[in-house]
Amino acid sequence: MMSMQAVIQQAPGGVETLELALIEKPQPQPGQLRVRVLAAGVNRADLVQREGHYPPPPGASPLLGLEVAGIVDAVNGPSRFQQGDAVFGLVAGGGYAEYALLDSAVAIPKPDWLSWVEAASLPEAWMTAWLNLVELAELQEGERALIHAGASGVGAAAIQLAGLLGAEVVASAGSEEKRCYCQSLGAMLTIDSRQPGFAANLKAAGGVDVILDPVGAALFADNLASLRADGRLLLIGVMGGSKGEINLAQLLMKRLRVQGSTLRTQPLARRAQLAQALETQVLPALQSGRACVTLDSSYPLAAVAEAHQYLADNRNLGKVVLTLFPVTAA
């Protein structure tokens, strides 16, 4: 059978535009695996793409879904994987379907101690955190990092990764429940960034060296004010607006660095490096208990609209995942 079930849209819009349909199975190109998807992560980027504001890269599947876990169904070209292997990893699109294409270079073997749902919750969050905190910001032991939206999937991973690197962590979140959650993950201090004066309070507490921010314009001025000399602001989203003013004198006097990044558009070689870091650095930390999987909830594929609405309502503590297997599956 060459058809599969997948989540499609006839046009961009709200959750009501998501529907299940039968479409043709994707065919792996050289260097790709076709994976029978058993779980797929839900990310805020999916919500933005659903609304028509985040088109997939050229050549990528137009379907939603950026991370999957499942069983290798077909292999095209040399690979360390073969049919029947359990894998998980980051995809450029197409995760909300029974089958998805995964570049062999970024595929990660799924260990037995991780469930399918847990595995699908890892790539986007941990690879984003690693890219920004380790590779771009070069966060060092003894430095202090501010993680905005700390109870999000990326935020929860970033809090833990900063702690593993030996940094102090400040996290922002919009409710007392979420701030307690951030503290449980290792944040020494939590704040509500929507309240006026958070930058002044942080400055009084000594400031921060690195900020990971998915909000954008709404926090931009306060972020710059919160940074210590030689501070680094990593912008990974614009949920709070895309246009803001910048105080260039502040940038000069404190020698600040502002950098934007997205994981989806990184070259394959960079994504392969990040996948290797997840496999060789993050998985051992999770297995040993030095870090934990931050899974909030899972929804069957048919309930994708509910999953999107749950995430849009900011009700999650950690990751939301779609499932494509019976409850009794391993």
pLDDT surpassing 90 at residue 320: yes
Q: Which residues contact 315 (CB under 8 A, 6 or more apart)?
A: none
pLDDT surpassing 50 at residue 11: yes
> CA-to-CA distance for 94 and 23, rounded, in angstroms?
12
- Give the domain-ending residue among 217, 240, 260: 260
In a domain, 81, yes or no: yes
Dump pLDDT digits (tens) for 231-288: 999 999 998 888 988 889 899 999 999 999 999 999 999 999 999 999 999 999 999 9
Regarding whether 239 and 140 lie in a shared domain, the answer is yes
In a domain, 315, yes or no: yes
What range defines the domain where residue 250 resides? 125-260
pLDDT of 326 reads 58
Regarding whether 165 and 114 lie in a shared domain, the answer is no
What mean pLDDT do residues 151-168 have?
A: 98
DSSP reduced 3-state for 10: coil
User: Where does residue 56 rank: exposed (0-12), middle (13-18), buried (19+ CB within 10 A)?
Assistant: middle
Regarding whether 178 and 244 lie in a shared domain, the answer is yes
In a domain, 135, yes or no: yes
- Give the domain-ending residue among 240, 260, 280: 260
Residue with tokens 């949920």: 239
In a domain, 94, yes or no: yes
- Give the domain-ending residue among 260, 284, 304: 260
Regarding whether 134 and 50 lie in a shared domain, the answer is no
In a domain, 89, yes or no: yes
Which CATH number covers residue 305? 3.90.180.10
> CA-to-CA distance for 173 and 146, rounded, in angstroms?
11
Nearest to 177 by CA among 197, 193, 192: 192
What mean pLDDT do residues 49-77 have?
A: 96
Regarding whether 229 and 114 lie in a shared domain, the answer is no
Specify the DSSP class assigned to residue 263.
S
Regarding whether 226 and 175 lie in a shared domain, the answer is yes
Regarding whether 107 and 37 lie in a shared domain, the answer is yes
Regarding whether 58 and 93 lie in a shared domain, the answer is yes
Regarding whether 50 and 108 lie in a shared domain, the answer is yes
Nearest to 264 by CA among 90, 81, 141: 90
What mean pLDDT do residues 293-302 have?
A: 98
Regarding whether 207 and 142 lie in a shared domain, the answer is yes
Among 39-43, 54-58, 219-223, 323-327, the minimum mean pLDDT is found in 323-327
In a domain, 275, yes or no: no
Regarding whether 187 and 143 lie in a shared domain, the answer is yes
User: Where does residue 240 rank: exposed (0-12), middle (13-18), buried (19+ CB within 10 A)?
Assistant: middle
pLDDT of 196 reads 78
Which CATH number covers residue 160? 3.40.50.720
Residue with tokens 């020698």: 255
In a domain, 265, yes or no: no
pLDDT surpassing 60 at residue 1: no
pLDDT of 329 reads 35
Q: For the chain, what is the total number of helices (H) and then of strands (E)?
A: 11, 15
Regarding whether 227 and 108 lie in a shared domain, the answer is no
pLDDT surpassing 90 at residue 204: no
Number of domains in the chain: 2
> CA-to-CA distance for 295 and 181, rounded, in angstroms?
12
